[in-house]
Amino acid sequence: MNSYFNLNRWLLYIGKHWNENKKRYLMSLGAVGGLLVLWYSFVIIVDNRNPLVLQMQSVTYFVGLFLTGCLFASMQFNDLGDGPKGIAYLLLPASLFEKLLTALLFSVVLYFICYTAVYYLVDFIMVKVANGLMLAKYEETRSGNYAPNEIINVFVSPFSPVNLFYYVLIIYFSIQSIFLLGSVYFAKYSYIKTLIWGLIVFLVLVFWEHKIVDSFMPHGSFFKPFTVYKVLENGKELMIRLPEWISSILLFLMMYTLPPILWTVTYFRLKEKEV
């Protein structure tokens, strides 16, 4: 039997993981749905004229996804922070690769699908409620115009020709992979510690970009991320461009490779993990 990956063994491990954690997962989704209902109810109470516009719906979806998705990922390896549970987890007859795949399946794939489903269930109901209240208010006062709110498509941005939602989702999966790695590095309070260290690294990168790199660059700014630099010289603008094929490769690497790289680091950190 392959000690690295075996499909039957992995499926058995998925079943074991689900049986042991299904109550926690289902309660978490119920809590997410309840929080969404409370938030939307508060918004409707505060603004009963036009509460659930597309911008409000999109902000609610993505803020909730970032907060809860990262929290969910940071809980995947909680057992490693407890001595007896950590030993039992590491001695379980499944490879570390299969355990990592299971964590990715539940925290990245299934959670994203289930969160989106819960969000749309709540969003559909609350938008109907908001439209009903708006219609009742309009029929009572007959002032203004009645324009019912539509349900947003969280995969297509209606606010610009560029699909910003797509890039936000890419950022989300990258940040979530950081929290998944943090759940292996930090035995306790992994969510808080990962958040703090993530902010520190982000601030260091911002300082490096604006204080160190800018001091070596001519007067100007990046017109596109790391591919086109706009130089201001004698009142004229000069564009310094990388070759198109290099730009395409760099953009592809920046957008799509960070999560797989961090998942790989998570795997090797699991191999070195001691309890």
- Percent of the chain, pLDDT > 90? 47
Check pLDDT > 60 for residue 194. yes
pLDDT of residue 245: 76
pLDDT of residue 131: 87
Kindly calculate the radius of gyration of the chain based on its CA atoms and give it in whole angstroms. Answer: 24
pLDDT of residue 117: 96
Amino acid type, 227: T
Kindly report the pTM of this predicted structure.
0.88
pLDDT of residue 213: 67
What's the pLDDT band for 90 if we cut at 50, 70, 90? Answer: confident
What's the pLDDT band for 52 if we cut at 50, 70, 90? Answer: confident
Domain residue spans of the chain = 7-213
What's the rounded mean pLDDT across residues 2-6? 81
From 215, 244, 223, select the one nearest 231 (Cα to Cα): 223
- Mean per-residue pLDDT of the chain: 85
Check pLDDT > 60 for residue 38. yes
What's the pLDDT band for 217 if we cut at 50, 70, 90? Answer: low
Check pLDDT > 60 for residue 205. yes
Contact 98, 7 (CB under 8 A): no
Cα angle value 188/193/195 (rounded, 5°): 140
What's the rounded mean pLDDT across residues 231-253? 75
Check pLDDT > 90 for residue 29. yes
What's the rounded mean pLDDT across residues 230-257? 76
Lowest mean pLDDT among 175-184, 221-230, 238-247, 260-269: 221-230
What's the rounded mean pLDDT across residues 218-226? 63
Check pLDDT > 60 for residue 11. yes
E strand or H helix at 236, and its extent? strand 236-241
Contact 147, 120 (CB under 8 A): no
Check pLDDT > 90 for residue 254. no
The pairing of strands 236-241 and 220-224 is unpaired
pLDDT of residue 78: 81
- Residue-wise pLDDT for 64-73, tens only, equals 999 999 999 9
- Residue-wise pLDDT for 115-146, tens only, equals 999 999 999 999 999 888 888 877 777 666 77
Tell me how far the alpha carbon of residue 211 is from its chain's centroid. 29
Contacts of 151 (CB under 8 A, 6+ apart): 57, 120, 123, 124, 127
Check pLDDT > 60 for residue 182. yes
Check pLDDT > 80 for residue 174. yes
What's the pLDDT band for 19 if we cut at 50, 70, 90? Answer: very high
